[in-house]
């Protein structure tokens, strides 16, 4: 495939990041885990994909996420967030807030429903995105901006609603190769000054988790997201009362590690082109992997959280009243309405985001059934 050519500044920034990663590989004795490569490629200060200044989301960026497609996403999600807050505390924590569109639209819709959060905390690693989030909220919901605060780390304790849209897919994954002669970790080394794959015997937590996937038959390569498991386990310590609403693309484990997916789900995005080479121009591409939702639910369960619901994005948004929101939308004219209807269609169509994207709710001390999961076809089992 021919990918668009980056401009000179972007290419120079990527070359600086590649040199920084190569130094780390040399300093580490010749290789680093893929998870470390991905962490640097996405989050190295000033140079990583999310920490650099380039525009990632939306039509002019590399990919489009649900909050960018339509405000109806935030408006429907607001119904679920309001219920969780009513059963816990009037606070929201959003992790990985992207452009800030979800924060602004959620706050506006909660205000309309008379269910405003007293505080809206954003946990965001990227300084460039924090600045963009601040601008978005100041522009779209200036009267609510004082409720929003940015956190540097997860809080020690929290009650309320935690929202993370497409966060888990952006956490660095480890890669495992199932071979006839054992289990190996795929790591990143250097050959002739370019990045190259190497394989090392898998060890520690990675070996334990991959051994547990007894149904995987070699030869097979896929990802294991230890960072996402750890992130959820952390919430087991933090969450006093409330729920995590985790939205992402992915599958339950049996589907994730399906024999036909023998190269895994790792994917790179560059200006709306998807490709499979994470070593191509590091820092300019998004690198992502689908989410193993069974593993996420197990991590929550093991950390003492209840699995409150799991369903497709389509079913969740329908349960949260998306059709009614579309019907009552204040569309200025027919063209506005057509744009809203087409956005809603993208969010729920099985051919677009409706089936691939899932909602997982993990919580503590929430006794009532969650609105977004009340009806469904039961085929979305973990």
Ligand X SMILES: C[S@@+](CC[C@H](N)C(=O)[O-])C[C@H]1O[C@@H](n2cnc3c(N)ncnc32)[C@H](O)[C@@H]1O
Binding site for ligand X (CB under 6 A): 50, 57, 65, 67-68, 95-98, 123-126, 129, 165-167, 170-171
Question: Shortest approach of ligand X to residue 123 CB, angstroms?
Answer: 5
Q: What is the Cβ-side half-sphere exposure of residue 87, based on CA atoms within 13 angstroms?
A: 18
Question: Shortest approach of ligand X to residue 173 CB, angstroms?
Answer: 12
Question: Shortest approach of ligand X to residue 375 CB, angstroms?
Answer: 25
Question: Shortest approach of ligand X to residue 98 CB, angstroms?
Answer: 3
DSSP 8-state assignment for residue 57: B
Please count the other Cβ atoms lying within 10 Å of the Cβ belonging to residue 107: 24
- Cα angle value 127/129/134 (rounded, 5°): 100
| Nearer Cβ to ligand X (200/271) | 271
At how many degrees (to 10) do helices 334-348 and 71-87 cross? Answer: 60
Question: Shortest approach of ligand X to residue 331 CB, angstroms?
Answer: 23
Distance CA 336, CA 341 (A): 9
Distance CA 123, CA 153 (A): 7
| Nearer Cβ to ligand X (82/353) | 353
Question: Shortest approach of ligand X to residue 113 CB, angstroms?
Answer: 21
| Nearer Cβ to ligand X (213/278) | 278
| Nearer Cβ to ligand X (30/45) | 45
Question: Shortest approach of ligand X to residue 171 CB, angstroms?
Answer: 6
Question: Shortest approach of ligand X to residue 240 CB, angstroms?
Answer: 20
3-class state of residue 352 by DSSP: coil
Tokens of 357: 């994207």
- Residue number of the CB closest to ligand X reads 96
Distance CA 175, CA 145 (A): 41
- Residues 347, 64: contact at Cβ < 8 Å? no
Distance CA 91, CA 247 (A): 19
| Nearer Cβ to ligand X (331/356) | 356
Q: Distances in Å between the alpha carbon of 41 and those of 44, 70, 193, 242, 344?
A: 6, 29, 17, 34, 33
| Nearer Cβ to ligand X (69/216) | 69
DSSP 8-state assignment for residue 377: -
Q: Distances in Å between the alpha carbon of 370 and those of 58, 137, 323, 350, 366?
A: 30, 28, 18, 23, 9
| Nearer Cβ to ligand X (202/296) | 296
Q: Distances in Å between the alpha carbon of 82 and those of 39, 109, 146, 300?
A: 34, 10, 19, 22
Distance CA 316, CA 185 (A): 36
Distance CA 351, CA 205 (A): 36
| Nearer Cβ to ligand X (187/228) | 228
| Nearer Cβ to ligand X (57/195) | 57
| Nearer Cβ to ligand X (121/124) | 124
Residue with tokens 């079913």, as numbered in its chain: 315
Question: Shortest approach of ligand X to residue 217 CB, angstroms?
Answer: 31
Residues in the chain: 382
H-state helical runs in the chain: 8-27, 34-43, 66-69, 71-87, 101-112, 127-140, 204-212, 226-238, 253-256, 293-302, 313-319, 322-327, 334-348
Question: Shortest approach of ligand X to residue 68 CB, angstroms?
Answer: 6
């Amino acid at each position: 495939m021919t990918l668009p050519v980056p401009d000179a500044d972007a290419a120079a920034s990527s070359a600086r990041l590649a040199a920084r990663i190569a130094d780390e590989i040399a300093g580490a004795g010749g290789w680093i885990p893929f998870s470390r490569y991905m962490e640097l490629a996405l989050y190295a200060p000033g140079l990583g994909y999310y920490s650099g200044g380039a525009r990632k989301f939306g039509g002019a960026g590399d990919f489009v996420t649900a909050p960018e497609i339509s405000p109806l996403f935030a408006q429907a999600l607001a119904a679920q967030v309001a219920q969780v807050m009513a059963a816990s505390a009037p606070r929201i924590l959003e992790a990985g807030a992207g452009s800030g569109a979800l924060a602004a639209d959620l706050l506006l819709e909660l205000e309309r429903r008379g269910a405003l959060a007293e505080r809206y905390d954003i946990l965001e690693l990227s300084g460039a995105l924090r600045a963009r989030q601040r601008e978005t909220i100041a522009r779209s919901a200036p009267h609510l901006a004082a409720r929003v605060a940015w956190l540097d780390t997860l809080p020690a304790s929290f009650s309320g609603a935690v929202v993370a849209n497409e966060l888990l897919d952006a956490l660095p994954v480890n890669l495992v190769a199932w071979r006839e002669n054992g289990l190996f970790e795929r790591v990143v080394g250097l050959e002739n000054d370019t990045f190259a794959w190497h394989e090392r015997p898998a060890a520690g937590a990675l070996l334990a988790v991959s051994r547990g996937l007894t149904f995987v038959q070699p030869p097979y390569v896929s990802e294991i997201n230890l960072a996402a498991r750890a992130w959820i386990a952390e919430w087991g310590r933090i969450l006093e009362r409330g729920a995590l609403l985790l939205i992402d693309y992915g599958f339950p484990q049996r589907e994730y590690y399906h024999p036909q997916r023998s190269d895994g789900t790792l994917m790179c995005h560059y200006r709306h082109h998807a490709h499979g080479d994470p070593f191509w121009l590091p820092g300019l591409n998004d690198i992502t992997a689908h989410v193993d939702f069974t593993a996420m639910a197990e991590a929550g369960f093991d950390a003492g959280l209840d699995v409150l619901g799991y369903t497709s994005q389509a079913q969740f948004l329908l349960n949260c009243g998306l059709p009614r929101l579309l019907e009552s939308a204040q569309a200025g004219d027919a063209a506005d309405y057509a744009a809203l209807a087409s956005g809603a269609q993208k969010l729920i169509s099985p051919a677009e985001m409706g089936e691939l994207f899932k909602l997982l709710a993990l919580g503590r001390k929430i006794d009532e059934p969650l609105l977004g999961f009340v009806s469904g076809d039961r085929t979305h089992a973990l």
